[in-house]
Structure 1
Amino acid sequence: MITGFAHAYGDNIDTDRIIPGKYTKTLDISQLASHVLEDLDPDFRTRMQKGDIIVGGNNFGCGSSREQAPVAIKAAGVSAVIARFFARIFYRNAINIGLPLLEIPKHDIETGHELEINLAEGTVLNKTTGKLHRAAPLPQVMMDILAEGGLVNYLQKHGDYKL
């Protein structure tokens, strides 16, 4: 179970809005985290509490295949991202680094709503409104990747890979 407060945004939030390109030259993950969403929502980092949840509209994570976007979100302490639809490269990059995602095409979640996510069931309970949202549950292999903290950890534990 994941619980946290929603920070809701609209459609077509691209990777440049998630982490501006000028910060992508660093390998310092805390530096990435300190700039997450700063061009879209300059107050996000001061309002956000560890465990909170980002909520998007359609096509969240579109644009470049910038892997730093989900890394910055996770490093900032965000526990999950919900959207009506994710850009596929962002979706895959997020799963690869262990950031849980759920697609809920017709959600009405707003900033400040308290959410409770059950990844195994693919449900999001909006504790503020009492509404239960259903998403397609993640395939077991993706749940396993998330449980291991990302694809590299999963492969090191379950594959013949030594990284």
Structure 2
Amino acid sequence: MEKIKGNVFCFKDDVDTDQILPGYAMSSPEEELKNFALKGSCIPKFAELVNKGDIILAGENFGCGSSREQAPVAIRQSGVGVIIAKSFARIFRRNAINIGLPVLTSDYVDEIKEDLSDGDVLEVDIDKLKVTNINKNKSYQLNELTDVTLETLQAGGLINKVINKLNEKGCKNG
């Protein structure tokens, strides 16, 4: 996988799906969800500030709350390249992986946050399970992914993974 490099947005524990994508945005067309990403969070202007490849760094239980599938879609559409957290709500994590949004855990989230200064850029190497603060030339370990999860992310999501598997078996898609 390509390395992901971007600015960092920090969040605390228990960022729920209502903060990620407020209820009033649920009826919006899918292509507009990015405009509401994290509107209910401690960074309500997130959608206006985020750039392609930027990184979310969060605490425990990111994505808790409802099972709304649109929450990780909004984050992915906003341009976020990866979310690193201490832990994720199980269904949010599964929904994110299924759409090809990398969600990684690390036991070093607090240390990464403590070492961050304004303007620091992180680079995430999913294959090597490493995140590096480019400005400080300091690296931190990410927790391992299962082979199934890595394969799904490498394919760009579950649908692409299934298409790839069918193509390998000689089935034509479409």
TM superposition score normalised by structure 2: 0.85
Number of the residue aligned with 2:47: 45
Q: Give the corresponding residue for 1:17.
A: 19
- How far apart are residue 130 of structure 1 and its match? 2.8
In structure 1, which of residues 109, 122, 135 is the aligned counterpart of residue 142 of structure 2? 135
Alignment match, 1:83: 85
Residue 31 (structure 2) pairs with residue 30 (structure 1): yes
Alignment partners' CA distance in 2, 1:131 and 1:63: 34
Q: Within 2, Cα distance between the matches of 1:91 and 1:53?
A: 16
Do the aligned partners of 1:56 and 1:81 also contact (CA within 8 Å) in 2? yes
**Identity over aligned residues, as a percent?**
41
Deviation at 1:52, TM superposition (A): 0.5
Judged with a 3 Å threshold, the aligned counterparts in structure 2 of structure 1 residues 112 and 18 are, in CA distance, closer, same or farther, namely farther
Q: Which has the larger radius of gyration?
A: 2
Q: Whose helix fraction is larger, Structure 1's or Structure 2's?
A: 2
Cα distance in 2 for residues equivalent to 1:117 and 1:11: 21
Distance across 1 between alignment mates of 2:79 and 2:30:
12
2:61, 2:89 within 8 Å by CA — same for their partners in 1?
A: yes
Q: Unaligned stretches of 5+ in structure 2?
A: none
Q: Report the equivalent of 2:103.
A: 101
Pairwise CA distance, 1:112: 4.1
- 2:166 aligned with 1:152, yes or no? no
Give the CA deviation at 1:31: 1.2
SS in 1 for 2:7: strand
Q: Is the 8 A contact 2:10 2:57 kept in 1?
A: yes
Separation in 2, partners of 1:106, 1:136: 9
Cα distance in 2 between the residues matched to 1:75 and 1:143: 20
SS across alignment from 1:33? helix
Shift in Å at residue 118 of structure 1?
A: 0.7
Q: Which AA in structure 1 matches 2:127? A: A
Kept in 2: contact 1:121–1:137 (CA 8 A): no
The letter for the 2-side match of 1:16 is D
Q: How far is 1:94 from its partner?
A: 0.5
User: What is the DSSP-based 3-state SS (H/G/I as helix, E as strand, rest coil) of the residue aligned with 2:64?
Assistant: coil
C-alpha change, 1:113 and 1:88, in structure 2 (3 Å) is farther
Runs of 4+ in 1 over 2 A off after TM superposition: 108-113, 128-131, 159-163
Shift in alpha-carbon separation, 1:112–1:7, aligned structure 2, 3 A? farther
* Number of equivalences: 162
* Letter of the 2:79 counterpart: G
